Amino acid sequence: MAAGGHEVSTYEEPVLQSFSKYTIYYPTELETTDEKYPVIVVCNGSGTPISKFPSVPEHFASWGFIVIGTEEGYDWSGFSAEMCIRHLQKLNDNERIDENENVFYQKVDFDNVGIVGHSQGGVGVLNAVTEQKHADIYKTAVSLSPTNKELAHNLEWDYDATLVDTPILLIAGAGGGDDWVITGEQLQAIYSDIDNNKVMLRRKDTPHNETL
């Protein structure tokens, strides 16, 4: 829970998409080193753009991560996460952006990209790692209190956890404000969908004369 040892800077870039802008938190030392830095993409919960919880991405960045998010208020599809990846690719590949020096040039470690989101953003995590173009780029995922399957379907936030093959951590609160979003039993159902998918993948990869 303590802050890491890196000072943190921020970078913002406005865009025409509905999510308004990209905001990136990063270790200040990135500006003067030749190192590559791992990435955390943030999927927002309902009504919670990244500008409403700056202490979280700042905390992650203090431990040496590039952290990117948006002002998206409807993050269930994983689209803004996908666009964050594309934007980081642009920053990584171009020495200058709009005639300005680009501090992120060749500094993004795309071999170590994680994603985290809460509630509607937890659904966004599931869809980002299964449905979006760069689903395979994520090395790990964290879905915090993802909206339960029935409620998500009723809200037209559908996801299919059986498609998840990214290492993923699922967490939900026990009681309090989380129960109407997802109960422990409903979280277990999502876990079972993912677990059953991994069993099927293992069966496909296991020769018929070997046991699982």
pLDDT in tens, 173-191: 876 666 778 998 999 999 9
Could you state, in order of their start, the residue ranges of all structural domains in the chain?
Answer: 8-205
Query: pLDDT category, 197, cuts 50, 70, 90?
Result: low
What pLDDT, in 10s, does the model give residues 44-85?
A: 999 999 999 999 999 999 999 999 999 999 999 999 999 999
Distance CA 206, CA 60 (A): 39
- Cut 0.85: pTM above it: yes
Run of H or E including 10: strand 8-14
pLDDT at 203 over 70: no
The reported pLDDT for the residue numbered 201 is 44
CATH number of 8-205: 3.40.50.1820
R_g of the chain computed on alpha carbons: 18
Q: What is the pLDDT of residue 132?
A: 98
